[in-house]
Structure 1
Amino acid sequence: MTHYAGIEIGGTKLVAARGRGWSIAERVAIATTTPEETLGKAVRVLTEWHDHEPLSAIGVASFGPVRIDPAAHDYGKILATPKPGWEGTDLLAELSRFGIPVALDTDVNAAALAEARLGAGQGCDSLIYITIGTGIGGGVVVGGRPAHGLLHPELGHMMLRRVEGDDFAGVCPFHGDCLEGLVSGPALHARFAGDAAAADPQDPRWDTIASDLAQLLANLLLALSPQRIVIGGGVGLGQRSLVRRAADRVPQIIAGYLPEVDRAAMDRLIVPPALGADAGPLGAILLATDSMASAGKSLR
């Protein structure tokens, strides 16, 4: 059995997973503190695994923005981020010591890949994974592969038409009222001046938030034509009624332009993740297996 390692680097924790094939055999969670401490602990875990049973490849799925183009001079480095101390961090420098293939992508692209192949998107050629939590991230898979380009998808920083009468300034340090600035966990905390989960479900502010999220969903259907949109994350999973309220508004926004996008279709198009918290680590392991395949090595 070939062994792989996947590292999912999130804003609050790093998860290192050891996989046999495409299943997780072992995992270790590490708090995301400084880059040196966090990545140092992860490398020590991988070293123990590698010494016990040699790893064939490593996949790294990181929060963004991160340079994922291997041809770029700053490949593997975290770009401008509000995460203190992480901008400019080289995520791959210490992994070269293992002498095995290392693949890198965003955490949400990796989660999208896992859901597409193993979870809620099986049988679909195109899938978008959205995580709504401390921030809003989006991964896109088309034809079984994560979408790359100028950088990588940054769906949370898309701009949208503001709901009439909503004067909330937003909390994004870069754009103010982009989608992340309006709908993320910190945005909800600011809107409700406290725990949004404790707010009255009938509070009219939920209608505004649902309308903002619905605009994102409609824009994604129009721009990328996904066969499935998977919504996870602390807010995405903890506020499923918000997701459903947003989904209910999408056909009205589309206004008949996509005839197949009606209310009945929403239950099929917009779904929760099937893999739960395993999507990111499994996605990182899939990055590792794909790096072996691209290197022309057989998978066992």
Structure 2
Amino acid sequence: MTTLYGSLEAGGTKFICAVGNENLEVIEKVQFPTATPQEAIAQTIAFFQQFDNLAALAIGTFGPADIDPDSETYGYITSTPKPFWSDTDLVGPIKEALGIPVYFTTDVNSSAYGEALIREGVDSLVYYTIGTGIGAGAIQNGQFIGGISHAEAGHVYVAKHPDDANFDGICPFHGACLEGLAAGPSLEARTGVRGENIEKDSYVWDVQAYYIAQAAVATTLNFRPEVIVFGGGVMAQDHMLNRVRELFKKLMNNYVPVPALDEYIVTPAIAENGSATYGNFALAKKIAH
């Protein structure tokens, strides 16, 4: 019987459950809305209980989350703005129901791990998701960064764009932080139009790219990675990557050397934002042996 590994990408909008084989290939996958914790956890358990040969599961979740195994609230989603999800034990009921080892981290850490694995020879990489929220995971020398917990790079403060002076941001904790100014919902908050329906020549895309480019500058100066990957729905707009590269170049102003921008600031190498699933399969395989 083939050994299988599980992946749960617990996102702010949807849960994606998948099982993969020894080659980290998807065998079966399902997704459903991130409704209440009771509904989402029950659907997760029901999916994975179908597989008798599931050796281990890795969970990458939206945050903030407690990923310290020595903490009393390990496995919990903590102070999230997501309705109903604050102080939710995500790992406990899943691990109890399945009876297998569970690796717990953030969804962006899972994505960073997957992207670093798929890019041969890359040992340092930072992955951002620019979607319903903004988060980042970083790999240095093949390991996650973080001390007492995971990074929260989506909530750093950035300089306001001159055309955005009157927008207060949407983050319920910080207002005009990176997430408050550049996450997908900020587009509709400014314009009254969902991002996918906004014209490509709208001023708002340059505003968004200005904030995302600042994140790339800060990441470059703080971590000096080999690659910065921008995933998520906002970056799925085909014009955004070049906007970010152009503004990064202007803001960096040749201060430190970086690789060619078409190799340095990129979108995911794994199609359909599948980086977290691939990374989770690898993390699950790691703890199963």
Report the TM-score, using the length of structure 2 for normalisation.
0.93
- How many aligned residue pairs are there? 284
CA distance in structure 1 between the partners assigned to 2:56 and 2:200 by the alignment: 47
Structure 2 partner of 1:147: 145
Mapping 1:188-199, distance limit 5 Å: 188-199=187-198
2:45, 2:97 within 8 Å by CA — same for their partners in 1?
A: no
Superposition RMSD on alpha carbons, in Å?
1.6
Is the partner of 1:112 in helix, strand or coil? helix
Is the CA contact 1:127–1:230 (under 8 Å) kept in the aligned structure 2? yes
C-alpha displacement of 1:9: 0.8
Going from structure 1 to structure 2, the CA distance change for 1:250 and 1:49 (only over 3 Å counts) comes to same
Shift of 1:134: 0.8
Flag the 1:142–1:195 CA change in 2: closer, same or farther, 3 A: same
Gaps of 5+ in 1: none
1:230-245 to structure 2, matched below 5 A, reads 230-237=229-236, 239-245=237-243
Corresponding residue number in structure 1 for 2:26: 24
CA contact (8 A) 1:228 1:268 kept: yes
2:13–2:132 CA contact under 8 A, matched in 1: no
Q: Deviations over 1:87-132 (max 9, x none)?
A: 11111112134332111011111011111102xx332111111111
Seq. identity, %: 38
Gaps of 5+ in 2: none
The answer on whether the counterparts of 1:115 and 1:122 sit within 8 Å (CA) in structure 2 is no
Provide the rounded CA distance (Å) in 1 between the counterparts of 2:146 and 2:127.
Answer: 14
User: For residues 137 and 109 of structure 2, what CA distance do their matches in structure 1 show?
Assistant: 4
Cα distance in structure 1, aligned partners of 2:189 and 2:17: 33
The partner residue of 1:163 within 161, 164, 172 is: 161
Letter in 1 for 2:56: A
Partners of 2:162 and 2:68 in 1: CA distance: 40
1:179 Cα offset (Å): 0.8
SS at structure 1 position matched to 2:16? strand
> 1:18, 1:27 within 8 Å by CA — same for their partners in 2?
yes
Aligned partners of 2:16, 2:200: CA distance in 1, in Å?
Answer: 34
The counterpart of 2:39, out of the listed 20, 37, 40, is: 37
Match of 1:269 among 264, 270, 276: 264
* Correspondence for 2:107: 107
